[in-house]
Structure 1
């Protein structure tokens, strides 16, 4: 996917966004030092949490902006950086919600802060509280900072207002998806496949695809028709992306994804894989293990095999193919510039063949 995004947004976007992130974190870490070592360490850990990503959300912002004729690249990169900060914030919060201690193969902020607290003599419960509270605060700070990047743009007032409204809606919708995800995993309600698909759309498609694509278009001065096309494309491609993510959470290679393939099963994650399995004869074998926090790797791998046997993996493959096909058809039938249409086709097709 990296080469596809490079073709779309240009070779300079990744480094340019990284430079802006570096400047931002340098400033915040310097300011935080006046408030004690713990606060400085929190900002240093937030910086670490922002490293290692593919930067595909920034690439979507800048790629659309350039393909629609935008020339104020500095403003586009500021908006792109805002979406990368938002993404990092959601990852920090997600790790708390999912009770994960590892991200991208290394201890995440929760895990590293909890480990440090343990070394200093804290009880396991207190150390975990310290780690989770730190991650929540860091995520909150990054959401606020991301909004600030957009609020301080030197663009027309109406464009800034539309971007802020888009950003606000993105956070609003993503929170709804996260809440539904927790409700389903906690068995507050047993979801239907339609419920799980709605949660999938809200949790990922809004802020990862729909909003970045629309942001680039708004900044370029695009009209309502263009925004509607990009929004629907982003919704469909974003759902396909999350469906693939759900597959990788169970069937991926932990050495590549950096996350255990058993954690989603331990946490009782309700995904389309599980929603389909619930309708099959193999469901009782899966149900007795799903959501067991002490689920062993051995039993987890058996559950994974059962998910494949019952057709859940093939079912989700079909869903992915359907959403990608519909996304491509949607832009093909639009009045978007051909250069942008070609780039979006590739984004849709390659977003779901990644291994991590």
Structure 2
């Protein structure tokens, strides 16, 4: 069972024959007391507490905002609708903290919640940059704002202007509250400064990655360093900084923190490489991701960089004809995918992701148990996602 997957539900009870109805029910199996099970349980406890903190924070912000104007409360309601998911970042904070000897659930949960709220802010702003109004198959902040304003009878031009502004401001609000969570009394004062610095550095690095990603549209696909973009835009704030923050909170040795930084960086890049593959040649029935949107956008991925660099004139013509077309259909997408396979781009990117996962596992083995095994499971889950 993967460490990041949703927890399994309890199994169904076995029916008892009628003649044994009066007998005492069988004793439940003894709980798993192994260190690995204890760490996994602790991670879930911290993550559940972080989720409650986020719900309470959003409710309080909505309560305060409605005193200004109902539209301000709507902003927080829209943020609430896009917050959550697998809660990967809180789990990474919790695993590093508990795995390195930490035991304060409240402190870990506040730091974990801060990282999830930062992720919400980044997602909202990323959708603004991409002009997307849907996230995970549902309207995002922009989409919910558009639906509400359309129901009010506002004009299309007025709505277009309001939608982008609402999403930008919602992301700003989430970003500010992420830092606010670190300033609570639950987080030891001795480490608040370093945790704030880590979060701020993560934001600054991600901004650089986002800028390079946006600027990539002006360059030929073969000229964009998609791996660098993946590291700056995804790996740092989603993997490295949560793991390092858990280590800082646990007052862990610098060597352990450095190892976690390495694990987070290479795993984050591998994660993004797999994500880009799923967004282009994955099975939507398994992934829930469209295989058209990235190609329609002309997203500069490592897949396209390699394919363009190796394409013969005929293959290059296929890429030039279909990649970046807003009206790209499934037939055109299949033609592009054929080129990705024939040029070896798919296998090369898969090999690159596997190497990153292998490095992350190897680095994790230098950490104390059961943290080492837990992180190896995280690597397996994220690098082996369904195609």
Structure 2 length-normalised TM: 0.85
Matched, 1:342 2:379: no
Corresponding position of 2:306: 276
Q: Give, in angstroms, the shift of residue 298 of structure 1.
A: 3.6
Structure 1 residues 330 and 15: alpha-carbon distance in aligned structure 2, compared to 1, 3 A threshold: closer
2:270 to 215, 218, 240: 240
2:63 to 30, 38, 55: 30
Larger radius of gyration: 2
Structure 1 residues 125 and 280: alpha-carbon distance in aligned structure 2, compared to 1, 3 A threshold: farther
CA distance in 2: counterparts of 1:351 and 1:193, whole angstroms: 28
Deviations 1:34-72 (A, max 9, x none): 122211111100000103x10011011011111111111
CA distance in 2: counterparts of 1:292 and 1:278, whole angstroms: 16
Between 39-48 and 94-103, report the one with greater CA deviation. 94-103
Corresponding position of 1:46: 79
Q: Give, in angstroms, the shift of residue 297 of structure 1.
A: 3.9
Structure 1 residues 98 and 299: alpha-carbon distance in aligned structure 2, compared to 1, 3 A threshold: same
1:92 to 124, 132, 137: 124
CA distance in 2: counterparts of 1:300 and 1:124, whole angstroms: 31
The 5-angstrom pairing of residues 309-348 of structure 1 reads 309-332=342-365, 334=366, 336-348=367-379
Deviations 1:300-331 (A, max 9, x none): 34323332333222121111101001111222
Matched, 1:160 2:204: no
CA contact (8 A) 1:193 1:276 kept: no
Between 195-204 and 245-254, report the one with greater CA deviation. 245-254
CA contact (8 A) 1:70 1:220 kept: yes
Q: Give, in angstroms, the shift of residue 112 of structure 1.
A: 2.1
2:97 to 58, 65, 75: 65
Structure 1 residues 25 and 141: alpha-carbon distance in aligned structure 2, compared to 1, 3 A threshold: same
5+ residue gaps, structure 1, are none
CA contact (8 A) 1:46 1:138 kept: yes
What SS does the corresponding residue of 2:370 show, helix, strand or coil? helix
Structure 1 length-normalised TM: 0.92
Paired residues, number: 351
CA distance in 2: counterparts of 1:125 and 1:303, whole angstroms: 35
